[in-house]
Amino acid sequence: MTHRSRLRTGDQALVREINLSVIMRRLLEHASLSRASLAEVTGLNKSTVSSLVHELIAMGFVHEVGQTSSGVGRPSTLLELNPRAGYIVSCELGVDFISVICANFSGEVFWRVKENTAGSQGQGAIIERTLALLRQAVRAGSSECVGCDRLLGIAMGVPGLVEQATGTLLFAPNLRWQDVPVQAILAEHFPGVPLFVDNEANMAALGEYLFGAARGANEVLYLSAGVGVGGAVVRNGQLVRGTTGFAAEFGHMTLDPDGLFCNCGNRGCWETLVSQSAVFRLIREAVASGRPSSLVPLTGGDLERLSIPLVVEAAQGGDEVALSALATVGRYLGIGIASLINAFNPDLIVLGGILSLAGDLLLPAIRTEVSQRALRWNAEATKIELAQHGFDACVMGGVAALLQAIVLEPGKYNLLHRP
């Protein structure tokens, strides 16, 4: 074989892999479609589309789902991604919880578990517990996802900086963990399984883009406010990672140079003003200064037991202390968001994390600050919405990330063995 023909063969295989990916991506974002409409939207000719679809059906990633019913012409067969192509396990290792789901190839969740954790358990015990829950999920996937016994991958979101090349958690300020080789640990326990490890906000942003509030948006900023504040940017469906992969750490923008110390080592970071601990701190201060609050009886008199659901319950019942804490945090959220709108000119900001449970109470204050502080031309172009998957945004994002990876290289994922 000459050098020239070897190159050509390589080119043809590459073109075919790219075309398989183009078809899969269309079906992921716009299902259901007929072969004819796939040819139309991709610009590929009909016989090429038929042959690509034939291959994807043989791989199990695509299936036929009935016929078009439009009156004109012959009805044509519709295609979709096959929900039974396999199952995906996705996990969020949070600061104070572990959440694991099993989803099919359409992103439908058919198994889930969530456990609270405490930092005092220690890193080793929390990781062991996470691995045990993942093993449960894999077992559930192979037994409960009837007809889809192929494990397509395990995704894990973590609350800190992740080195993309190795899947190492470099720094998780609120867990106080450093240099944990998360992906290597997973690879040891789940050999041969495709793995995806990322920052929780990055994963959540992808989840909202593919399955939630940000579907079809071009420039999305995602904010997750909980124990800390995470952020992510999704541009045309892809995460914007920055030079070394750590972009969008919005929670550590300095908003108050003389402010409270942050777990990152700096002081006055945005997250010291807008995380759940900021809400709890404002409530404790108000109660300590003698203001009455229904949160005292709701927590059995122990304000260390405050939680966002309790604060929302109190606020919805008209509790002034809870309402005022949320208004203050909403105001600081709005101040930071106004700057982000000026910096990024996004079409959509999605607010997730546990604080989004209080979204309806926070949004008025956020919108007031944004309308006063962001440049009018920018502010008018930006919608602010709550994450559709709320607390599940991150685990749904793990499913989205693996789906994107499979859609990009279906041939590679087709070779996975069935456990």
Q: What is the DSSP letter of 165?
A: T
Q: Is 252 in the site for Zn ion (CB under 5 A)?
A: yes
Binds Zn ion by CB under 5 A, chosen from 262, 351, 393, 396: 262
Q: Is 185 in the site for Zn ion (CB under 5 A)?
A: no
Residue pointed to by tokens 């969740």 = 109
Closest distance to Zn ion from the beta carbon of 231 (Å): 12
Judged by CB under 5 A, the number of residues near Zn ion is 5
Binds Zn ion by CB under 5 A, chosen from 233, 264, 322, 386: 264
Choose between 263 and 414: whose C-beta lies nearer to Zn ion. Answer: 263
Closest distance to Zn ion from the beta carbon of 164 (Å): 22
Q: Is 169 in the site for Zn ion (CB under 5 A)?
A: no
Binds Zn ion by CB under 5 A, chosen from 19, 21, 32, 266: 266
Amino acid sitting at position 22: V
Q: Is 269 in the site for Zn ion (CB under 5 A)?
A: yes
Closest distance to Zn ion from the beta carbon of 249 (Å): 8
Closest distance to Zn ion from the beta carbon of 226 (Å): 14
Q: Is 150 in the site for Zn ion (CB under 5 A)?
A: no
Q: Is 227 in the site for Zn ion (CB under 5 A)?
A: no
Sequence-ordered list of residues with C-beta below 8 angstroms from that of 236, at least 6 positions apart, any chain: 218
Closest distance to Zn ion from the beta carbon of 228 (Å): 8
Cα-to-chain-centroid distance, residue 336: 21
Q: Is 273 in the site for Zn ion (CB under 5 A)?
A: no
Choose between 61 and 171: whose C-beta lies nearer to Zn ion. Answer: 171
Q: What are phi and psi of 123, to 5 degrees?
A: -60, -45
- Is the Cα dihedral 299, 302, 303, 307 positive or negative? negative
Stretch that binds Zn ion, among 43-51, 72-80, 181-189, 251-259 (CB under 5 A): 251-259
What count of other Cβ atoms lies within 10 Å of the Cβ of residue 46?
Answer: 12
Choose between 40 and 256: whose C-beta lies nearer to Zn ion. Answer: 256
Integer Cα distance of 43 and 31 in angstroms: 17
Choose between 225 and 322: whose C-beta lies nearer to Zn ion. Answer: 225
The β-bridge partners of 366 are none
Q: Is 328 in the site for Zn ion (CB under 5 A)?
A: no
Stretch that binds Zn ion, among 41-49, 259-267, 372-380, 400-408 (CB under 5 A): 259-267
Integer Cα distance of 257 and 272 in angstroms: 12
Choose between 268 and 411: whose C-beta lies nearer to Zn ion. Answer: 268
Q: How many residues does the chain have?
A: 419
DSSP letter string over 328-350?
A: HHHHHHHHHHHHHHHHH--SEEE
**Tokens representing residue 200 in the block:** 């929780």
Amino acid sitting at position 394: C
Closest distance to Zn ion from the beta carbon of 336 (Å): 13
Stretch that binds Zn ion, among 43-51, 106-114, 265-273, 292-300 (CB under 5 A): 265-273
Closest distance to Zn ion from the beta carbon of 395 (Å): 25
Q: Is 172 in the site for Zn ion (CB under 5 A)?
A: no
Q: How far is CA 181 from CA 115, 120, 134, 391, in A?
A: 22, 20, 17, 25
Among candidate residues 65, 75, 66, 59, the one with its CA nearest the CA of residue 24: 59
Give burial (CB, 10 Å; 0-12/13-18/19+) of 205. Answer: buried
Q: Is 294 in the site for Zn ion (CB under 5 A)?
A: no
Closest distance to Zn ion from the beta carbon of 271 (Å): 6
Integer Cα distance of 314 and 170 in angstroms: 38
Q: Are strands 97-104 and 87-93 parallel, antiparallel or unpaired?
A: antiparallel
Choose between 142 and 266: whose C-beta lies nearer to Zn ion. Answer: 266
**Site for Zn ion, rule CB under 5 A:** 252, 262, 264, 266, 269
